[in-house]
Chain A
Amino acid sequence: MHGAAALLYAICAMGAERDAHAARMQSPVNWALLGLVIDRPSYAYELARRFERTYDGVLSLSSVSHVYTALTTLKERALIEEIPGTRTGRQPKPRYRATAKGLLEYGDWLVDEIREDRRRQRLFVLQLSSFLRDPEAAIGMLDRYEQACLQEVARIPLVPARDCAPPDASHVLLARLTAEESRLALGARLQWVQFARGELRARADAQALRR
């Protein structure tokens, strides 16, 4: 079999295997740990430290043993594997690396998260519809939502200019990517609030005319 055909076959086989694996891993902590292993092979304690640094304020571990449980799950699902020869010495520290399957599933999971984001936002709009019969009350809700968005956007850290940063400053790059994603997402919500307020105001005015 040609190399490319073999690769295609392997990917298809993986896809079929993934389809057969009905229950996708749900724990965001497990996915986050897989991401850290993809970034750099590590042992459990090191992963716990890296997890705390990277996901501070976003995700949390119940304890260091949480990492061991997660690593077991990742191994069982063949998303990571132990690097041979690292379980040596008086205090063995097996290091883990991602498998090709782990890399593929991690990518799938990241992309699928967009659906979850959209679901949450749609849910908010649907829940706001409880107030549609009373547009003034809905506008009141929008005002509160807008205040929350304003406070969130104001809290986004400022990240200095790219050309001033040392080229290897990955913490600056990560901070910049995170900050810009938050700004764009909250900016879109603030713009939606303007649109929704206009629509609701028109409805309120129409209701007032009918009375």
Chain B
Amino acid sequence: MSLLELRDVVKRYRDGRSERVVLRGVSMALEAGELGVVWGPRGAGRSTLLRVAAGLEAPEQGIVLFAGVDLAANGEEVLGDGIGYCHRSHGSGGWQLVLDQVMVSLLARGVAPDAARSSAHAALERTGAAECAGLRLNALRAGEAIRVALARVLALEPRMLVVDEPTAGVEAAERDGILSLLRSFADDGVAVLASTGEPAGLSGTARSWVLGEGELRGAPVSELAPVVPLRRAAGQRPGA
């Protein structure tokens, strides 16, 4: 049984008198320890797909199973516990300090302040955003903002991370660092489902899908792409 499974999911949006079918019988599966990324043109419904997969929105038809549990019936229990949904927007809270933002969800779960602070620091360290702890959210660069957003969710130790547009607005030079980070979560056994508006964001994934005209087409990858080491080991070939 896959950790996440979507079966024949249909999702429509009504705008006044018109109706748009965003997902037409979409089926997909993601295993624990896999990184899967969905690419599609603007307006293809990538974010909708992710919100449905995370249990934030219910499909009109079809079923979404997380660890065998129907999210439409039990989504609230799973979200924030088994599933971590991550996006960069911090709404009107841009004045908040990064550390507070990462701590707050832990405090809301009854974690003691000292333990929450310690976990938040650890999560920021894990995502490569430790130096951002004392900054305000609205002072972060795009790459830092996604690392902080990931830390916020990661602190809750989810089994599956759903990440909307992790590389949007991130400089090309920094993009692979974000993708490598997502890969490392998958290597730790977390299922990671992300979306991207640019095909470059599909690099290094175990599964990649294209979403277009409501249809999802995908391809599993037989062999994971390497992560190029910063420092070449003695005798190692370049790019190997």
Contacts and interface: CB of A to CB of B under 8 A. Distances in A.
Contacts of B73: none
Interface residues of A, number: 43
22 contacts: A147-B219, A150-B209, A154-B204, A154-B219, A156-B225, A157-B225, A158-B204, A160-B176, A160-B228, A160-B229, A161-B176, A164-B177, A166-B230, A169-B232, A170-B238, A175-B228, A183-B203, A187-B199, A187-B200, A190-B210, A191-B199, A201-B213
B25 interface: no
Interface in B181-240: 183, 198-200, 202-206, 208-210, 212-213, 217-219, 221-223, 225-232, 237-240
Contacts of B226: 157-158
A158 to B, nearest CB: 4
Contacts of A86: none
B225 A154 contact: yes
Interface of A: 53-54, 56, 143, 146-147, 150-151, 153-166, 169-172, 174-176, 178-180, 183-184, 186-187, 190-191, 193-194, 197-198, 201
Contacts of A198: 213
B199 A190 contact: yes
Contacts of B222: 151
Contact of B240 (A56, A147, A156, A164): A56
B225 A159 contact: no
B225 A161 contact: no
Interface residues of B, number: 41
Nearest to A187: B199
B41 interface: yes
Interface centre among B225, B227, B238 (most CB of A within 10 A): B238
Interface of B: 39, 41, 172-174, 176-177, 179-180, 183, 198-200, 202-206, 208-210, 212-213, 217-219, 221-223, 225-232, 237-240
A201 to B, nearest CB: 8
B238 A154 contact: no
B239 A175 contact: yes
A189 B76 CA distance: 40
A147 B230 contact: no
Given A158-B176, A159-B228, A165-B230, A150 B238 contact: no
Nearest to A148: B219
A179 to B, nearest CB: 7
Contacts of B238: 53-54, 170-171, 174-175
Interface centre among B183, B213, B228 (most CB of A within 10 A): B228
A77 to B, nearest CB: 28
A162 B222 CA distance: 28
B221 A56 contact: no
Given A54-B238, A157-B203, 14 more contacts: A143-B217, A146-B217, A153-B202, A154-B208, A154-B219, A155-B225, A157-B239, A161-B174, A161-B177, A164-B230, A165-B230, A172-B228, A179-B203, A198-B213
Contact of B239 (A146, A151, A174): A174
A156 B219 CA distance: 15
Contacts of B228: 157-160, 171-172, 175, 179
